Copies of this chain bind each other. A is one copy, B any other.
Amino acid sequence: MKSTLIIGAGGVGRVVTHKCAQLPETFGKITLASRTKSKCDCIAAEIDYPIDTVAIDADDVAATVALLNQIKPDILINVALPYQDLTLMEACLEAGVDYLDTANYEPKDDPRFSYEYQWPYHHRFVDAGLTALLGSGFDPGVTNVFCAYAQKHFFDEIHTVDIIDANAGDHGLPFATNFNPEINIREITAKGRYWQEGEWKETEPLEIHQAFDFPHPEVGTKDIYLLYHEEMESLCKNLNGVTRLRFWMTFSKNYINHLTVLQNVGMTSIEPVDFQGQQIAPLEFLKSVLPDPASLGPLTKGKTCIGCVIDGVKDGKRLQKYIYNVCDHQEAYAETQSQAISYTTGVPAMIGAKMILDGHWKKPGVNNMEQNDPDPFMEALNQYGLPWEVVDGAPFLEQLQKHNP
C-alpha cells in the first residue's frame, strides 16, 4: 500500500488531507504532520478515514529524516510555510522520498519569491532518481499547467500571458486578510514586476490597475492590480517565445484603503518599535487584532476566478484563449471545511502528488509544473473539484489592452 506524508496543518493542509483521503487507492496510508500535533488531530477528526498525526519541526532536517525513515512515505507533500522548503528537500534527498510543494522557498530575512534557491537542487534530485515538483498550487501551479495545455493544444507560439486571480468572495467583515496576514500584506506592499521582451519591468506597489469584466456573472467587474507572482519566473524560461507575462490580482477599494491606512500609520512595518521597553514589530501586533484567516471559512460567500488570458499564433493565424476555473467558497467549505482560497491551492497539491504517484509526472529532478504533460493534470482538475473552461480570449485581451496597451 502507498504511503503519503503531508506536512502542514493550516487551511491548505486541511484541504490536501481531505482530498487525499477521498482517494485511498492513490494515497494509501496518510500521515499528517505539523509543529502542533493538535492542529493535525483537529483535521483528522473531520475526516472519515484513518489519518495518522505526528508533531514535526520541519526546520529540523535530522528529525524529518527520522520521521521519513519511520513511515517510509512514497511522497512528501509540503504545505508548511515556505521557509521550510529547503530543509524538507534535504530530508527527502537523504531519505529517498519524492517531494512536492506549493510555494517557493523564502529565507525569512530575504523574501523575494524566487526559485533560485530550489532550482540548484535539480542535479541532486536527478542523481537520486527522485522527483521534486515545485509550486503545485493554483497560482503558481494550475496557471502554469493552463499555459502548458494552451501551448500543447491551441498555439504554435504563445506571445503574451496575463494571469488573473480574482477573489470575489465576501466574508462580511470590514477588513481581513485571506491568508497569513504577514505574507498577504508583504505581497501587495511590494513593488510590482512583469516580464517584457526578455527583461523584468518594475512598478511602484499597486501602480498599475484597471477594471476587468470577468467571464463569470457572479464575479462580475472587479479592480485588478498588477503584482509580481512567482510562476512568471519559470514561465518566462519554459514558454518558448513568450514576450510578455503579467500577473493581476483583484482587491477591493475598501481592502486597498484599509491597507494604505495601516501602512500610513506604520502598522504594517516589520521594523520593531519600542513599546513600554519591549521591541515589537507592528505587523506582528496587527496580526493579533485582525481576524484569524481560518475563521473566515464559514463566513465567506461568493466565488474565485483564476486563469490565463493567452495571446499567440496557430497555423499562421493570431488567436486568444482564456482558460480559467471558477470555485465557490461555500461549496469548498461544505466539502473540506476550508473556503476557496485554501481549496484552490490544496486540490492542485493533491493532484500534483497523484501525478507523481501514478507515474505521469514521475521525472527525476526539480521540475516546475509546465515542464510536465498537462493532459492528465487537466483531466484530474475536472474530476476532483476544479473544473475549467476555455473561451475566446479576444474580448478579455482587448479589455487589458484598452487600459494598458
Cβ of A175 within 8 Å of any chain B Cβ, yes or no, is yes
Whether the Cβ atoms of A265 and B288 lie closer than 8 Å is no
Scan A287-299; emit 1 where CB is below 8 A from any B CB, else 0. Answer: 0111000000000
Cβ of A24 within 8 Å of any chain B Cβ, yes or no, is no
Residues on B with C-beta less than 8 A from A265 are 174-175, 258, 262, 286, 289-290
Choose, from A33-41, A95-103, A222-230, A267-275, the stretch at the interface.
Answer: A267-275
Residues on B with C-beta less than 8 A from A282 are 285, 289
A265 to B288, CA, bound (A): 10
A376 to B365, CA, bound (A): 91
A306 to B273, CA, bound (A): 36
A266 to B289, CA, bound (A): 6
Interface residues in A234-272 by Cβ distance below 8 A to B read 257-258, 261-262, 264-267, 269
Cβ of A190 within 8 Å of any chain B Cβ, yes or no, is no
Cβ of A280 within 8 Å of any chain B Cβ, yes or no, is yes
Residues on B with C-beta less than 8 A from A174 are 264-265
Residues on B with C-beta less than 8 A from A290 are 265-266
CB proximity of A291 to chain B, nearest CB, Å: 9
CB proximity of A313 to chain B, nearest CB, Å: 48
A280 to B289, CA, bound (A): 10
CB proximity of A352 to chain B, nearest CB, Å: 35
Residues on B with C-beta less than 8 A from A258 are 261, 264-265
CB proximity of A251 to chain B, nearest CB, Å: 15
Residues on B with C-beta less than 8 A from A269 are 289
Residues on B with C-beta less than 8 A from A273 are 288-289
CB proximity of A333 to chain B, nearest CB, Å: 24
Whether the Cβ atoms of B288 and A267 lie closer than 8 Å is no
Whether the Cβ atoms of B289 and A175 lie closer than 8 Å is no
CB proximity of A177 to chain B, nearest CB, Å: 10
Q: Which residue of B lies closest to A176 (CB)?
A: B265
Scan A88-126; emit 1 where CB is below 8 A from any B CB, else 0. Answer: 000000000000000000000000000000000000000
Residues on B with C-beta less than 8 A from A280 are 275, 285
Q: Which residue of B lies closest to A173 (CB)?
A: B264
A258 to B264, CA, bound (A): 9
CB proximity of A175 to chain B, nearest CB, Å: 5
Residues on B with C-beta less than 8 A from A261 are 175, 257-258, 261-262
A264 to B258, CA, bound (A): 9
7 additional A-B residue pairs with CB within 8 Å, beyond A258-B265, A267-B289: A257-B257, A257-B261, A258-B264, A265-B286, A265-B290, A275-B285, A282-B289
7 closest Cβ pairs, A-B complex: A174-B264, A261-B261, A266-B289, A275-B288, A258-B261, A282-B289, A175-B264
Q: List 27 A-B contacts (CB under 8 A).
A: A174-B264, A174-B265, A175-B261, A175-B264, A175-B265, A257-B261, A258-B261, A258-B264, A258-B265, A261-B261, A262-B265, A265-B286, A265-B289, A265-B290, A266-B289, A266-B290, A267-B286, A267-B289, A273-B288, A273-B289, A275-B284, A275-B285, A275-B288, A276-B284, A280-B285, A282-B285, A282-B289
